[in-house]
Copies of this chain bind each other. A is one copy, B any other.
């Protein structure tokens, strides 16, 4: 049996009892004959407590020092976890991101992993030890300073380590028991997926599914590392993220497993819609607007441009963006109002996005029709549409979002039979 990388989030190690429970689970895996490398996040509220301390000494703490501060969180949880494992009679060694060879760029607070050189981890495993690695952190290749990876950083650490060590699987333990066909808080009849492809999982993550962050799945896909999402509170098998939608094309032939046409429905309440009204309909004006927005560091998601009203030769340009970037975008566009010559800006943060994701969509032309009919029957007005090869997304009013998600979920036959419905809890991890 090969090497397993396990990642435990902050809610799994929220207190001493959580640490001991996780230690038992790790030791079970080791006793089953696997080599085990563990990636752990900071305990429960540690990060918030540290941020509160930082706020008390400085309103604008330097990013380098904020990273130094926050990385103490994993240092605490990993050392405690190693102690708890030792107490169960197994040798464990904790390692910081830097010691584990997690090499990043220098973007404090949102560093990207450039390379993983896990020599010390491999040595520990070869010596029969359980290696515990701090998630969420690395060391800058350039400055040698300590960095943090930003949201979902511990998941990314785990998949990157699993890839570098050639692990059999990377298990992401969290407070939900897998990837669901929709958020069970909105759709109580949502079903757990047994497997999902990297591409579908990436679309789901990009469209608001919180269970895994996009970059972690991207890393898994690039390296071909299977990722299993499961709960640290149950022994359920969770969801395995693996395989390509290209395998899907061979549906049923030569013995490959047949995938469902549709994986699930994701939703996102974190975006707002910004409309620039009365934009002169001539080449270069849209570019001027989006250059201003990009220069302000705002990421845009969907874009729609109305057909120009012939009488005025003016059009409206709408796009969606994170709500947190709303004020920045509005002032950036206001600054180019004179040069672009538009009339006004309308900002709407009471919107929602529903997305249908499925690898089978490509070979099933009826999917769009079913999708839009379901929304129409439910009385949901569509404000914007965007599609990819394996996804259809619509923007609705915030009030219509839950109705839209439920309608689509039912229309594609994703609802579980009543006796299949499980109780799950939502949550996010660092």
User: Contact residues of A with B, CB < 8 Å?
Assistant: 16, 19-20, 23, 50, 53-54, 56-62, 64-66, 68-69, 71-73, 75-76, 78-84, 86-87, 92-94, 99, 120, 144
Whether B68 contacts A84 by the Cβ 8 Å rule is no
29 interchain pairs, CB-CB under 8 A: A16-B56, A19-B57, A20-B57, A53-B80, A57-B80, A57-B81, A57-B84, A57-B87, A58-B83, A59-B87, A60-B87, A61-B83, A61-B87, A62-B82, A62-B83, A65-B82, A65-B83, A65-B93, A65-B94, A66-B79, A68-B82, A68-B94, A69-B76, A69-B80, A69-B83, A71-B75, A72-B72, A75-B75, A99-B144
Residues of B within 8 A of A57 (CB): 16, 19-20, 23, 80-81, 83-84, 87
With both beta carbons as reference points, the residue of chain B lying nearest to A134 in the complex is identified as B68
Residues of B within 8 A of A99 (CB): 144
Residues of B within 8 A of A81 (CB): 57
Residues of B within 8 A of A69 (CB): 75-76, 79-80, 83
Task: Name 17 extra pairs, CB < 8 A, besides A23-B57, A62-B83.
Answer: A19-B57, A20-B57, A50-B76, A57-B83, A59-B87, A61-B86, A61-B87, A62-B86, A65-B79, A65-B82, A65-B94, A66-B83, A68-B79, A69-B75, A75-B75, A99-B144, A120-B144
With A and B bound together, what is the CA distance between A54 and B75 in angstroms? Answer: 13
- Give the shortest distance, in Å, between A104 (CB) and chain B (any CB): 16
Whether B58 contacts A86 by the Cβ 8 Å rule is yes
With A and B bound together, what is the CA distance between A369 and B16 in angstroms? Answer: 60
Whether B68 contacts A75 by the Cβ 8 Å rule is yes
With A and B bound together, what is the CA distance between A92 and B68 in angstroms? Answer: 13
Whether B79 contacts A93 by the Cβ 8 Å rule is no
- Give the shortest distance, in Å, between A73 (CB) and chain B (any CB): 8
With both beta carbons as reference points, the residue of chain B lying nearest to A62 in the complex is identified as B86
With A and B bound together, what is the CA distance between A68 and B83 in angstroms? Answer: 10
With A and B bound together, what is the CA distance between A303 and B333 in angstroms? Answer: 85
Residues of B within 8 A of A64 (CB): 93
With A and B bound together, what is the CA distance between A71 and B16 in angstroms? Answer: 19
Residues of B within 8 A of A71 (CB): 75
With both beta carbons as reference points, the residue of chain B lying nearest to A50 in the complex is identified as B76
With A and B bound together, what is the CA distance between A57 and B16 in angstroms? Answer: 6
With both beta carbons as reference points, the residue of chain B lying nearest to A82 in the complex is identified as B65
With A and B bound together, what is the CA distance between A83 and B108 in angstroms? Answer: 14
With both beta carbons as reference points, the residue of chain B lying nearest to A20 in the complex is identified as B57
Most buried by B among A50, A80, A83: A83
